[in-house]
Amino acid sequence: MTNDLQFDSQGQLRNLLTIEGLNRQTILDILNTAESFIAVGEREIKKVPLLRGKTVVNLFFESSTRTRTTFEIAAKRLSADVININPSVSSTNKGETLLDTIDNLEAMHTDLFVVRHKDSGAAYLVAKHLPPHVRLINAGDGRHAHPTQALLDSFTIRQYKKDFSQLRVAIVGDILHSRVARSLIHVLNILGVPEVRVIAPKTLLPVDVEKLGVRCFYDMRTGLEDADVVVMLRLQRERMQGALIPSEQEYFNLYGLTLEKLKHAKDDAIIMHPGPMNRGLEIDSAVADGERAVILPQVTNGIAVRMAVMAIVMGGSAPKDRRPGQ
């Protein structure tokens, strides 16, 4: 059902709601297109005209810094007109429904919506409601999906590790509440990563998590053994109901990434984090600021990846100096 909304009748991506349903070639097309946009950020004039005359509305019902800002920069680098809506001071705060808000913004000739919402399935609801010529990108919905984060994470992994077919990737922390983890697990499995691990206490793991295509570890040192990539997740206390961890200090002792625990991973393992980081809770500053951390390159890559997704769903193509990827 989701694929009916994600692809048009010719099989072209028209909305990005979730990683599920995408095939390997579609994902590689996005990553390769993003590769071509990296050079745009290195120019003196950081613009290409692909979306000139198009209007992009960023509609974020949850607070965000990195995601909203990189979407805004991405759209502007594609020469789109960008409108940022703050729902806390909009008509939704006066009782207007989500779909009424969408209808009113679409009546202003919006071409592309970027939507983040606290409820799982919100992006699907909006996409189902929109007319076919208006596009939508899911910037995160509840616990469900965060597809562009997964794509920029996989893009970053490819930058440093090249070949997905030889990797062990460990995802550590609050898997239960993480849309980032779900989307990343899906994309890594589609790209052929032979071993994806999740490391967390039982209280922070979904029931039957192995069905997602992962190996499950409760001990961090064992789970990190010979890992090529370590992805740390934020402890999402705002989504928790009840005490899922004994204390923050004990959580850090058991599951916080320190230099000592990192010794169990490969010597050239890279460290990732989707942000925002809680230093001293899920990651030690010595690791976050260390030479193996690629956390800031993830943010930079987010612009190019989001440019690629916007260009593709709007029917654009990569710049002429496109550099081939894997």
Instruction: For residue 274, give the nearest of 294, 258, 255 by alpha carbon.
Output: 294
Best-predicted range by mean pLDDT among 3-7, 95-99, 120-124?
120-124
Q: What is the pLDDT of residues 176-216, one digit of tens each?
A: 989 999 999 999 999 999 999 999 999 999 999 999 999 99
How do residues 261-299 score in pLDDT, each as one tens digit? 999 999 999 999 998 899 999 999 999 999 999 999 999
Q: pLDDT for 127-158, tens place per residue?
A: 999 999 999 999 999 889 999 999 999 999 99
φ/ψ of 51, rounded to 5, equals -115, 25
92 CB burial (10 A radius; 0-12, 13-18, 19+): middle
User: 2.115.10.20, 3.30.70.1350, 3.40.50.300, 3.40.50.1370: which CATH number matches 2-145+300-313?
Assistant: 3.40.50.1370
Over residues 156-166, the pLDDT tens digits come to: 999 999 899 99
In the chain, where the domains are located: 2-145+300-313, 147-297
Please give the pLDDT value at position 14. 94
CATH of 147-297, one of 3.40.50.1370, 3.40.30.10, 3.30.470.20, 3.30.390.10: 3.40.50.1370
CA dihedral 185, 191, 193, 194 (to 10 degrees): 110
Residue with tokens 């989500």: 98
**Strand 195-199 to strand 112-117: parallel, antiparallel, or no bridges (unpaired)?**
unpaired
The answer to whether the beta carbons of residues 209 and 198 sit under 8 Å apart is yes
pLDDT of res. 1: 58
